Chain A
Amino acid sequence: MSRTILIDPVTRIEGHAKITLKLDDAGTVNEALFHVTQMRGFEKFCEGRPFPEMPAITARTCGICPVSHFVAGSKACDALMRIKIPETATELRRLMNCAQIAQSHALSFFHLSSPDMLLGWNSDPKSRNIFGVIVKQPDLARDGIRLRQIGQSIIELLGGKKIHAPWMVPGGVNEPLTKEKRDTIAGWLPEAKTIAMKTLTLYKKMLKNFNEEIESFGNFPSLYMGLVNEEGNLEHYHGKLRIVDENGKIIQDQIHQKDYEKYIGEAAEDFTYMKFPYYKELGYPGGMYRVGPLARLNVCNKAGTPQADQELQEFRSMQKGPISSSFHYHYARLIEIVFCIEKMQEIIELDYILDPRVRARGGANNPQGIGISEAPRGTLIHHYKADENGNISWCNLIIATGHNNLAMNKGVLQVAQHYVDGNKLEEGMLNRVEAVIRCYDPCLSCATHALGQMPLHIQLVSPHGELIDEVKRH
């Protein structure tokens, strides 16, 4: 008997996004769809694997934020093992997570978004990239490179390599921190903080130039979700979930990771492979919420480190209640870089941070385990079920970018309605549509962001389904 194995779609290709804008009879945009046209199937092919492999397998989802998957995956495995890991291991994982967030935010701000802000949204696309930034502000470009290098070097120092470092494991980490490594990290942090503060100061001065973008780049009321610690402060590693409404009122607090399914549902649409998480109590799509740097700063009581708290206070003075424009993801990202650097400083000064006891061991003592952490782009949920032999029987990953899917679609619609005035697409409009997506720093950017532009396909469709215009960028 002959058999056929069909592989469709072909995976591990560079990702692509597509946007469709639909017009009403008056020629104005009334619907915008952001399509993610890649499907990778991690949840399926993890089935059958021994649970200790999960952090390393799921980390391969991404080359930019693998540490985040190591964190959430390891925490889910800790829960499967029903163990409490050594406190030193917790702090070491937190240390690497902070380094990861700092370097990822640096990539987003300096490499991907600063060209728009420094060179202009309507500037020549040929030079609207990091090389354009190098020409205009070489110091800033070098700072961006250096900040990211420091974050990656800390990851490498702890884990042995910059990408997919197999250091975080179920039960803790596989190697303690040495005094030499701690001193090396201590030597890098002051420079990192200087760069972060210099950039933040520059950015705050530039903000007045972006009033129109601030008004129209995903500026709408929504819920916000993020982890907070027991005091309600900013938290990226442990903590529990908090959800606040558009007025800043806390509507859910201290949601334990095991209970996430009571509050978060996932919907699917036929135009995209990315799912649409929503807050169950408000249903779909009314339960739209945002996650990530902006949301984290909107849900926390305070940051919890000195300089970041000062910056957070100034950030919040821009608006009564939560900061609602998605454009301010950039600002929030810079504040989080400062926070992560200060947090790393605190961690390496802990008197037990060099303790060699950094790993607990055990089997699959629970039928399921859930791990939640904050990735650079937002809340990351890993949920595993294992059989009696410890092999994965079911897996669900809710990725940070997914949480923002509803908000990104709404943001694209808002930008399109603001900038598209009729029946013809202009390059500047195209770039602004890209830029509103870039505010969220979606993880598909790992695969699709080119230097200063990503492959996009925008279609303008009449109310009768007729294709009026399209712009492709590869």
Chain B
Amino acid sequence: MIDKKVLVLGFGSVLRGDDSFGPIVAEEIEKYLADQGTIASQVSVLITQTLTPELADNISKCELVIFIDASAEGDTGKVLEERVQSDPLAPVSMVHFLNPKALLNWTEQLYGKQVEAVILTVVGNDFNFGIRRLTPELVDLRPLVVARAKEIIHQHLS
């Protein structure tokens, strides 16, 4: 991957209903960037089913990472925004999937780089089988998250 200033990382399974929120939003941002010339050259978008240790390499090459995710826990109907940092105590039960804080820790440990990070999370209602099938609440929240991600990107690049 060529070094970029911002990395948008949408994660979740597109086979499991609301879990496809992250990938769907990331795709929309990718489409938006296609017409943005200079900005596009400074932003990369990755879509992944789960967060794996290899992503530490991608993250180490940027200044800011924006994680986009759907959670199964919490209050529905709103967008949660959290600035996060590397956490050496973040739970890592397996090497096959990590949470954002653990992944930032891998990045710091492996590449000696502390990367600014923000997570945009919505709370989903249905994670049963359903290819790219979002519940109505998440369909409504989708443009808000896209808009907020764009805003964060522009703020960082300005």
The interface of chain A, by Cβ under 8 A from chain B, is 14, 63-64, 107, 111-112, 130-131, 134-135, 138, 141-142, 145-146, 148-149, 152, 161-164, 446-447, 449-451
Most chain A CB within 10 A, of B54, B96, B109, B111, is at B54
Q: How far is the CB of B48 from chain A (nearest CB, A)?
A: 7
Q: Which of B41-57 contact A (CB under 8 A)?
A: 48-50, 52-54, 56-57
Chain B residues with Cβ below 8 Å from A111 are 53, 95
Distance of A417 from chain B, by nearest CB (Å): 31
A130 to B110, CA, bound (A): 10
* A163 in contact with B49 (CB, 8 Å): yes
In order of increasing CB-CB distance, the 4 nearest A-B pairs are: A149-B54, A134-B109, A111-B95, A163-B49
Other A-B pairs, 19, CB within 8 Å; known A134-B109, A141-B110, A142-B111: A14-B94, A63-B96, A64-B96, A107-B95, A111-B95, A130-B53, A131-B109, A138-B110, A148-B54, A149-B54, A152-B52, A162-B52, A163-B50, A164-B49, A446-B96, A447-B94, A449-B94, A450-B93, A451-B92
> Contact partner of A14 among B52, B92, B93, CB < 8 A?
B93
Q: Which of B86-123 contact A (CB under 8 A)?
A: 92-96, 109-111
* Interface size, B (range): 10 to 19
Nearest CB on B from A109, distance (A): 12
Chain B residues in 8 Å Cβ range of A152: 52, 54
CA distance A14 to B93 in the complex (A): 10
Q: Which of B125-139 contact A (CB under 8 A)?
A: none
A145 contacts B95, CB within 8 Å? Answer: no
Identify 15 residue pairs between A and B in the complex whose beta-carbon atoms are under 8 Å apart, listed by A's number. Answer: A14-B93, A14-B94, A63-B96, A111-B95, A131-B109, A138-B110, A142-B111, A145-B53, A145-B56, A152-B54, A162-B48, A162-B52, A449-B94, A449-B95, A450-B93
Give the distance to chain B from A149, nearest Cβ to Cβ, in Å. Answer: 4
Residue positions of B touching A, CB distance < 8 A: 48-50, 52-54, 56-57, 92-96, 109-111
A107 contact set on B, CB distance < 8 A: 95
How far is A63 from B54 in the complex, measured between Cα atoms in Å?
15
Known: A138-B110, A163-B49. A451 touches B95 (CB 8 A): yes
Smallest Cβ-Cβ distance to B55: which chain A residue: A149
Contact at A450–B50, with CB atoms within 8 Å? no
Residues of the A chain whose Cβ atoms lie less than 8 Å from the Cβ of B57: 145-146, 149
A135 to B57, CA, bound (A): 17
Q: Measured between alpha carbons, how far is A130 from B109 in the docked complex, in Å?
A: 10
Q: How far is the CA of A13 from the CA of B57 in the complex (A)?
A: 29
Q: How far is the CB of A451 from chain B (nearest CB, A)?
A: 6
A130, A142, A145, A163: most-surrounded residue (chain B CB, <10 A): A145
Chain B residues closer than 8 Å to A163, beta-carbon distance: 49-50
